[in-house]
Amino acid sequence: MNKKFVMSQIKDLRLTNRMFVMITLSVILIASIGSVTAEEEMSTYRNNEYGFSIDYPEDWAMIECYMGNIMGDVAFFLGHGSYAIVGIEDLPREMTPDEYITSAIKELRSGVSSVTCLETGITCVYPMNVVETFSETINGEPVAGAIYTIGFGGIGSKQMLAVFVHDKTAYLITFTAPLDIYDKAEFEFFEPMLHSFRFS
C-alpha cells in the first residue's frame, strides 16, 4: 500500500475524529450554557511529556486525554458554557504557524460539510465562515489563528483555532462558545488562556 495514501487517510481520520469530538462537546456546551462571569482565578495545567503549560479558569473542569490518542488531543477544559481543547500534531515538514493556519482553513473548507446524528437528528455544519485571522507573538513565540462560525442544527457557535509550532510539532488550541456569549468568553477566558501558553 502507498505510504503517502496511508498517511493521507490517517490525516483525514484525525480531522474527522477531531470534528466529531468538537461537535459532541458543542452539543453538550449548548445544552449546559451558563452565564459568563467576571474575573476568574486561574489554575495552571502542565504537560511534561509535550513540554508546555497553559492557564485555565480554576472552576472549569479539566480532562487530560490519553497520550497518543489518534486525534492528538492532550487536554479538554470546560466551563461557563464554553470549552477549550489543546492538541498536538506532528507535521510532515517544517512550517510556520501562518502556513499551518492557511492549510487548516483550506482543509476545513474542503472537508465534510455536514453530519447528522442518527440518535438526535441534529445536523452539524462544519466551519465555512472564517470571521478573521490573526498572527502575533505570545511569550516570545509566533502564533497564528482563525476565528470562524459553525452551525449546529440552527444553533450557532464560534471557534478560535490558534497554533504554535515548535520544531515539527503543531500545538493547537481550539476555543468554542455559543454565538451569544462568544465575545465575552473570548475576552474573559480565551484570550487569557491563549496568552498564558508557554513551552517548558
More confident residue, 126 or 104: 104
Give the pLDDT confidence score for residue 65 in this predicted structure.
83
User: How sure is the predictor about 81, in pLDDT bands with cuts at 50, 70 and 90?
Assistant: very high
Give the pLDDT confidence score for residue 12 in this predicted structure.
46
Q: pLDDT tens-digit profile of 150-179?
A: 775 667 889 999 999 999 999 999 999 999
What is the C-alpha separation between 133 and 164, in angstroms, rounded?
A: 14
Q: pLDDT tens-digit profile of 13-60?
A: 444 445 445 544 554 444 444 444 445 699 999 999 999 999 999 999
- Helix (H) or strand (E) holding 87, with range, is strand 82-90
Q: Which domains does the chain have, with CATH numbers?
A: 3-199 (3.40.1000.10)
Kindly compute the dihedral angle of the four CA atoms of residues 67, 69, 71, 72, in this order, to the nearest 10 degrees: 20
* Section 124-140 average pLDDT: 82
Considering only CA atoms, which of 190, 168, 200 is closest in space to residue 55?
190
